[in-house]
A and B are shown apart, each in its own frame.
Chain A
């Protein structure tokens, strides 16, 4: 059924269609609308046979999800930003224990400086935590990915993080096609756990493992993720035939057939990238787009194949590995047959900075002319940076950087973007 609704509500409805049995939540922007809507559904009885648990922190949210999942319940939670960091220890435990929890991360920057806006730093900080990480390009894909996530996670006995851009998707009203309950029931069978805390057949979960077997347990976690790479394309195909939509999977290519230059990105920025690429195609540029849906496990072989004909790769990424550069581009370099120097990193949209067509067109144009630096910060205000550096050169007690920069910048409320 077609609906014009907020992204958060679309995700809440999709999660409800998956018949979760335990939802635990602690509010943090920009994911709050999702769990608020689910809480309302549980309270009104629209979502039955589900316990909604208000917890005192994100650490507790993940801990409750772990307990619920270990007891055989289909468990869901959502978080963002510092909330994800606060639960980090339990996040590692969930995957280490092999519990198929599904969690939405409404991507948001990490402080300091405190910032409530969108980028991918939160999800990227947990990229090696052992969860499957999927990134949604649109609200339609976000809701579809949640349905796929429960199936994928429960089949592999692994937790799945569905990442959607905070505000840009969570707070956007757009058209979504909401599946019927019967369709979801047919696609997603009831949860059959591989391990369960059952008083009738008592086991313990969470043994201490010493040097004699720790490596083997970790190897098996890796092997499971590699198995996910084999299974995901087939399941996306199955989803396509059941729901009629080509969402999910490992990745999506756009106008890549003859592309000498390929732009790689994750999440909602792909829409703006595609519009920019269409404009450049009209002027004869051989440029295409590779959207990564599945970031963990990293689809190395599929990326390598998609980039096989590319002479140049531009990675647009909403996170910064301070002291290195790009995180996504570092992954891309391992899967590119050409020279690593041909992979350019463009850090963009940090802390909610708008990523515009004109800025992207400028940076893509530079790449086509062979003038793009290895590492670029899109729309960096160089004058502002220079003032801060000058201050530090001139005085020992130069003061706090964030406060100084805001003072230099003056009033920002008059801005539109």
Chain B
């Protein structure tokens, strides 16, 4: 089982991101379960959503306490919420930011993590560019497909098109695609740096 936890704020499409991720996994023939943390969500308040992916039926209903991957939609949460709780050293972290892990003040925490598992993507900027709204969820799923390799970009695009229609779908697919390429480049650079 592969468990993903998505942290963000109300209004950033955190719950929709988990749902779309589950649809993408379903389209690849996997079992998937997406659910929100069921808070009284308000715009701007911290929100958590979860997605489990497995090859067999998922029965577990507890929140994801030990995630294999984290998607952080808003880096200001790093100082407010225990976003890294339960994450193992070989876990994946994808943060929506234009800054580095060091500049965000979490460089020390991620020491010992695998460099190619730690990625950033300017998802809000990509969303503004392609969709015209600062909703980073779809772009982050494109980035997640790249960093985790657990899901294809094509499945993410199909899930976006199942959730949205028309220009919004097109824009989000474009944002996800650019985020995917951005993260792939980051991973190549990380591998290159390690080889050196």
Residues in A lying within 8 Å of B, measured CB to CB? 2, 4, 6, 116-118, 167-168, 171-175, 268-272, 274-275, 352, 354-357, 413-417
From residue 21 to 66 of chain B, which have CB atoms closer than 8 A to chain A?
22-23, 26-27, 31-40, 45-46, 48, 58-65
Contacts of A352 in B (CB 8 A): 38
Taking A4-B32, A355-B61 as given, write out 16 further A-B residue pairs in contact, using a Cβ cutoff of 8 Å, ordered by the A residue number.
Answer: A167-B38, A171-B35, A173-B23, A174-B58, A175-B32, A269-B61, A271-B59, A354-B63, A356-B62, A357-B62, A414-B81, A416-B37, A416-B48, A416-B65, A416-B81, A416-B85
Contacts of A6 in B (CB 8 A): 19
Given contacts A171-B38, A172-B33, contact A414 B61 (CB under 8 A): no
* Set A117, A174, A274: member contacting B38, Cβ < 8 A: A117
**Bound CA span A168–B33, Å:** 11
B27, B31, B34, B35: residue with the most chain A Cβ atoms closer than 10 Å: B35
Given contacts A4-B22, A116-B40, A354-B62, contact A173 B35 (CB under 8 A): yes
Instruction: Name the distance in Å between A119's Cβ and chain B's nearest Cβ.
Output: 12
B130 at the interface (CB under 8 A from A): no
Contacts of B18 in A (CB 8 A): 173
Contacts of A172 in B (CB 8 A): 33-35
Contacts of A116 in B (CB 8 A): 38, 40
Contact B61 A271 (CB under 8 A): yes
**Bound CA span A354–B37, Å:** 10
B38, B48, B65, B82: residue with the most chain A Cβ atoms closer than 10 Å: B38
B80 at the interface (CB under 8 A from A): yes
Contacts of A415 in B (CB 8 A): 82
Contact A175 B31 (CB under 8 A): yes
Pick 29 A–B contacts, CB within 8 A, sort by A. Answer: A4-B23, A4-B32, A116-B38, A118-B38, A167-B35, A168-B38, A171-B36, A171-B38, A173-B18, A173-B32, A173-B34, A174-B32, A174-B33, A175-B26, A175-B31, A270-B59, A271-B59, A271-B60, A352-B38, A354-B62, A355-B61, A355-B62, A356-B63, A356-B65, A357-B60, A414-B46, A416-B48, A416-B64, A417-B65
**Bound CA span A270–B62, Å:** 11
Contacts of A175 in B (CB 8 A): 26, 31-32
* Set A173, A274, A355: member contacting B33, Cβ < 8 A: A173
Shortest Cβ distance from A278 into B: residue: B59
Q: Mark B115-136, 1 if CB is under 8 A from A, else 0.
A: 0000000000000000000000
Instruction: Name the distance in Å between A208's Cβ and chain B's nearest Cβ.
Output: 45
From residue 150 to 169 of chain B, which have CB atoms closer than 8 A to chain A?
none
Instruction: Name the distance in Å between B161's Cβ and chain A's nearest Cβ.
Output: 14
Given contacts A4-B22, A167-B38, A171-B38, contact A272 B85 (CB under 8 A): no
From residue 56 to 99 of chain B, which have CB atoms closer than 8 A to chain A?
58-65, 80-82, 85-86
Contacts of B82 in A (CB 8 A): 414-416
Contact A173 B22 (CB under 8 A): yes
**Bound CA span A268–B82, Å:** 27
* Set B35, B58, B63: member contacting A416, Cβ < 8 A: B63
**Bound CA span A354–B59, Å:** 15
A118, A171, A172, A414: residue with the most chain B Cβ atoms closer than 10 Å: A172
Top 8 A-B pairs, shortest CB-CB distance: A271-B59, A4-B26, A173-B34, A417-B63, A172-B35, A167-B38, A356-B62, A173-B22
Contact B61 A268 (CB under 8 A): yes
Instruction: Name the distance in Å between B18's Cβ and chain A's nearest Cβ.
Output: 8
Shortest Cβ distance from B48 into A: residue: A416
Contact B34 A272 (CB under 8 A): no
Contact B61 A413 (CB under 8 A): no
Contact B80 A413 (CB under 8 A): yes
Contacts of B63 in A (CB 8 A): 354, 356, 416-417
Shortest Cβ distance from B19 into A: residue: A173
Contacts of A174 in B (CB 8 A): 22, 31-34, 58
A2, A167, A172, A416: residue with the most chain B Cβ atoms closer than 10 Å: A416
Contacts of B46 in A (CB 8 A): 413-414
Contact A272 B32 (CB under 8 A): no
**Bound CA span A195–B38, Å:** 43
Instruction: Name the distance in Å between B36's Cβ and chain A's nearest Cβ.
Output: 6
Contact B59 A274 (CB under 8 A): yes
**Bound CA span A69–B149, Å:** 54
Shortest Cβ distance from B35 into A: residue: A172
**Bound CA span A274–B31, Å:** 17
Contact B40 A168 (CB under 8 A): no
**Bound CA span A125–B62, Å:** 25
Contact B35 A168 (CB under 8 A): yes
**Bound CA span A118–B35, Å:** 14
Shortest Cβ distance from B52 into A: residue: A174
Shortest Cβ distance from B47 into A: residue: A413
Shortest Cβ distance from A349 into B: residue: B61
Given contacts A172-B35, A414-B80, A416-B37, contact A275 B22 (CB under 8 A): no
Instruction: Name the distance in Å between B68's Cβ and chain A's nearest Cβ.
Output: 15
Contacts of B22 in A (CB 8 A): 4, 173-174
Contact A413 B81 (CB under 8 A): yes
Instruction: Name the distance in Å between A169's Cβ and chain B's nearest Cβ.
Output: 9
Instruction: Name the distance in Å between A353's Cβ and chain B's nearest Cβ.
Output: 11
**Bound CA span A18–B27, Å:** 28
A167, A175, A269, A354: residue with the most chain B Cβ atoms closer than 10 Å: A175
Given contacts A4-B26, A414-B46, A416-B48, contact A167 B62 (CB under 8 A): no
Shortest Cβ distance from A118 into B: residue: B38
Contact A413 B37 (CB under 8 A): no
Contacts of A118 in B (CB 8 A): 38
